[in-house]
Structure 1
Amino acid sequence: MSTIGLILLLCAVLSGVVSSNSQTVHKRFEYKFSFKPPYLAQKDGSVPFWEYGGNAIASGESVRLAPSLRSQKGAIWTKQPIGFDWWEVDIMFKVTGRGRIGADGLAFWYTTQRGDYTGEVFGSSDRWNGLAVIFDSFDNDNKHNNPYIMAMLNDGTKNFDHKSDGTTQLLSGCLRDFRNKPFPTRARVEYYLNTLTVYFHNGLTNNEADYELCFRAENVVLPRGGYFGLSAATGGLADDHDVIHLLTSSLYSTQQAGGQQISNDEQQKLSQEYQQYQQKLEQQKEEYRKEHPDEVRDKDGEFDDWFESDGQRELRQIFQGLGQIQDVMRDLHKKVDEVIGKQMNSLSMLTAVYSHSQGQPLQPTQPGQVPQMPALPITRQDWEMMATNNQIMINTIAELKGFMIEVSRKSDTLLAGGAGSAPSPQLLNEMRDGLNQVKQTVASVAQRMAAAPPVVAEPMCATVSCVSTTTLLVVVTCQLLVMFLYGLYKERKEAQAKKFF
């Protein structure tokens, strides 16, 4: 019966794993809601499909939302609202400054209406309706918990609490440092099936896949048809807030009705737009080469970039060493997690076997859930106590063995000294002392076993009467003493019989 229960349990676990992995998430890059270098900004300074204002400056390599000057604010917003429900946004940015403390920070927005370019909340409007993922670098509440990444939801009626850094209003967050990193820092904001997940890249390595989980929040309902935006602001202290790229992808699964199906006409239209954009880009490159022949010639004959200075080499080696250390630590974490998982699996299997051996059925489960394992009756402390008691028993048996060998040796000496003569008082005293030592040893063992706590919380002998270890040792010792005295008595009788003959 227990084997059948274990097979059913394994089948339930496998079915749960298969059902959880049955849905596959597909991504579609949305170029109208993205920007990236090179040639991020056009000749007239505009960014395709985006609008920026305030103190923001767009160049070919990045968008500087707020420069390192006091009281600067800027923002960039999409021109059109998004037309998909689930999305993923990858943001690469750099926050750099000469001060030990930065200010104020930048924010990623998803709102029903585009915010201001010089607003009060990190360069955008207060009382927004939607989501804000804020990268706060200044500690307003003096709790030494900045730089901090936090997510906030607003229905258009709440004001941002600047004095507490929004800690009383946040949905979730994590403490991460994103200032003055050797490589650009990155954040990945994912919203899928009403679950908001934020991953963070600390910028210590150049590995694009080196993300870590910042926070995850479920049951997050956002309004449809919102706008994407980025904003930043400075105060008395100032940092450069540069956004290198923002890449947007729509998410959908194969099980969604209709999905993200694209008609042939729309595909042809998109391909034509892409080809026209590529032709326009190549034409602008060629015009730039004709207008600046000296710069093109200098770049062709320049070899300074092929060599590195001593400082650059030392920095590169330091960064490579830090990257290798981080990779080793990540592998160690994975191995420790695997070991812990194997231990938990072994304990679960032992618990299931013990439950079936005691006749306890498995706990009922709901459809689609893994059956709950009963609690293990023997804990780690119980196992350690059992091992200690076993070691005490082994040491005591070794001492008893030594005493029995000594008593046997003395009896042999007594018999060899004279078969018909009576034992001397000295030998009798030694035998009496030996017996007293045996009694004292047995008494000390009994005290140790009585003082030791029980090994398990519940008695393992439920239907059969148990015999304690102390009683067993006392009985064995008494039997050995009786056998020894009987042997002495028998040999003495045999010696007297030989004497008469």
Structure 2
Amino acid sequence: MFITSHALLSSSADNVYEMEEFLKREYSLTKPYQGLGSSSSSHWDLMGNAMVTPDHVRLTPDLQSRQGAVWSRIPCYLRDWELQVQFKVHGEGKKNFHGDGVAFWLTKERMQNGPVFGNMNHFTGLGVFVDTYTNEDKNREKRQTGTQRVYPYVSAMLGNGTLSYDHERDGRPTEIGGCTAMVRNVNHDTFLLIRYIRSRLTIMTDVDGHREWRDCADISGVRLPLGFYFGATSITGDLSDNHDLISMKLYELTVDKTKEELEQEEEEEVTVPRVDNMQQFIVVEPEEGMSGVQYAVTALFSLMGLGVLAAIGLMAYGRWKEKSRKRFY
């Protein structure tokens, strides 16, 4: 077992702990990608349009309607871990004419094609998305939130097997955290860190070439089951990009825990991913007011309806009056 570092880490001012990192080669994918392929000794499977080169695994080329993936064959039973990903997104498309992005997974299911960045919808587990194209109408977004997101955007989602990723709203209803990360067409390396320790999920980015991690999301009370699979997927549609995976390195984290923490881990059997107090992440849709055109159409139909009612009323009144005259003769 190879120890890579020993350091004090902090996810918040009141949560500082001493930690050791152990590189887990069976869950890691690095050059020259010898553990990737169809042989029985391989630890990773290649899928779809993904292609191995000496420098990277190209999940999708800069072509329309492609999708590709790599998935670990070995389920992960580590309770505390850190995944460091080096990747590159680049292509010929200009502003707003590229897509769709890349995703990194720890899920119960594996090797399933689908619409969520190349993976299945209604997945069970954790998805971290690097979304390079916004589908949501920017004017609508600004009316509802007062701000507009800047893309590319990194976001996290926990799936329980029934939740659906909302493409039209870029996954906002199920997002538990995220940040802007300018990863596309840059001349330096781009990295993503996903750490899960003591039921706390932390996401950091290094995308500006300074070799420094920047906070992206920090979510406490995250419960992830054991025995899930790591993977990376990507998809293109009408818009496209090259989505290159350079490395995925998984580290086992060892932290001094109290007796109570260890007992709780042994007693608590998590079978479905969840977040404590999930209510805090639910997006409430404000009601949208009608536009000027909608008001005009509504008013027109209202007037037409009143006119029809008035005509019916006059006809009925005329008939009643005629009958009344006949009774007097």
TM-score category of the 2 structures, normalised to the smaller one: 0.5 to 0.7
Instruction: Quote the residue 2:189 is aligned against.
Output: 184
Cross-structure match for 1:193: 198
Asked whether 1:54 is paired with 2:20, we answer no
Q: CA deviation at 1:63?
A: 0.7
C-alpha displacement at 1:142, in angstroms? 2.7
The residue aligned with 1:147 is 152
Map of 1:81-160 to 2, 5 A cutoff?
81-100=75-94, 101=96, 102-116=98-112, 118-143=113-138, 145=149, 146-160=151-165
State the 1:108 CA deviation: 0.6
How far residue 196 of structure 1 moved from its aligned partner, in angstroms, is 0.6
Kindly report the root-mean-square deviation, in angstroms, between the aligned alpha carbons of the 2 structures.
Answer: 2.5
Shift of 1:175: 1.7
Q: Distance in 1 between matches of 2:36 and 2:105?
A: 27
1:40 paired to 2:30: no
- For the 8 Å contact 1:52–1:77, the answer to whether it is kept is yes
**Aligned equivalent of 2:220:** 218
Contact 1:42 1:60 in 2 (8 A): no
Matches within 5 A, 1:264-413: none
Moved over 6 A (4+): 42-47
> Which secondary structure state, in structure 2, belongs to the residue aligned with residue 168 of structure 1?
helix
Give ranges in structure 2 of 5+ residues lacking alignment: 1-13, 139-147, 263-329
CA distance in 2, matches of 1:43, 1:92: 17
Q: Secondary structure at the match of 1:177?
A: coil
Secondary structure, counterpart of 2:169 in structure 1: coil
TM-score, with normalisation over the residues of structure 2? 0.67
Q: Alpha-carbon deviations, 1:340-383, whole Å to 9, x = none?
A: xxxxxxxxxxxxxxxxxxxxxxxxxxxxxxxxxxxxxxxxxxxx
Which structure shows the higher helix fraction? Answer: 1
Shift of residue 50, structure 1, vs aligned partner: 0.4
- Pair 1:171 & 2:176 matched: yes
Q: Is the 8 A contact 1:25 1:253 kept in 2?
A: yes
| Aligned counterparts of 2:253 and 2:36: Cα–Cα separation in 1 | 33
Please, what TM-score do these two structures have when normalized by structure 1?
0.45
CA–CA separation in structure 1 for the residues paired with 2:33 and 2:111 = 22
Question: For 1:168 and 1:83, how far apart are their aligned partners in 2?
Answer: 29
Q: Looking at secondary structure, tell me which structure has more strand per residue.
A: 2
Structure 1 CA distance for aligned equivalents of residues 226 and 63 of structure 2: 36
Give the number of equivalent residue pairs: 237
Q: Which residue of 1 aligns with 2:297?
A: none
Cα distance, 1:115 vs. partner? 4.1
Residues 44 and 201 from structure 1, CA distance in 2 versus in 1: closer, same or farther, beyond 3 angstroms? Answer: closer
1:189-268 aligned within 5 A: 189-202=194-207, 204-205=208-209, 207-208=210-211, 210-255=212-257
Residue 181 of structure 1: CA displacement?
0.8
Q: Distance in 2 between matches of 1:219 and 1:158?
A: 19
Match of 1:79 in 2: 73
Q: 1:162 aligns with which of 152, 167, 170?
A: 167
Amino acid of the structure 1 residue aligned with 2:88:
K
Cα displacement (A) at 1:45 = 7.6
- Aligned equivalents of 2:196, 2:137: Cα separation in 1: 32
Contact kept in structure 2, 1:41 and 1:58, CA below 8 Å: no
CA 1:244–1:156 in structure 2 vs 1: closer, same or farther (change >3 Å)? same
Q: What 5-or-longer segments of structure 1 have no aligned partner? A: 1-18, 260-501
- Partner Cα separation in structure 1 for residue 255 and residue 37 of structure 2: 40
Q: Give the Cα–Cα distance (whole angstroms) in 2 for the partners of residues 43 and 141 of structure 1.
A: 36
Name the amino acid aligned to 1:138.
Answer: Y
How far does the alpha carbon of each residue in 1:148-184 deviate from its partner, in whole angstroms, 9 at most, with x for none? 1100011001121111111111111112211001112
CA separation in 2, counterparts of 1:44 and 1:110? Answer: 20
- Would you say the 8 A contact 1:87–1:248 is kept in 2? yes
Q: Give the Cα–Cα distance (whole angstroms) in 2 for the partners of residues 115 and 77 of structure 1.
A: 7
User: Equivalent residues in 2 for 1:413-428 (5 A)?
Assistant: none
Q: CA deviation at 1:255?
A: 3.6
Measure the CA separation in 2 of the matches of 1:86 and 1:234: 33
Report the 3-state secondary structure (helix = DSSP H, G, I; strand = E; otherwise coil) of the residue aligned with 2:225: coil
Deviation at 1:43, TM superposition (A): 10
Note if contact 1:187-1:198 (Cα within 8 Å) is conserved in structure 2: yes
Amino acid at match of 1:103: G
Mapped to 2, the partners of 1:235 and 1:244 lie a distance apart of: 23
Counterpart in the other structure of 2:22: 28
- Report the secondary structure of 1:163's partner residue: helix
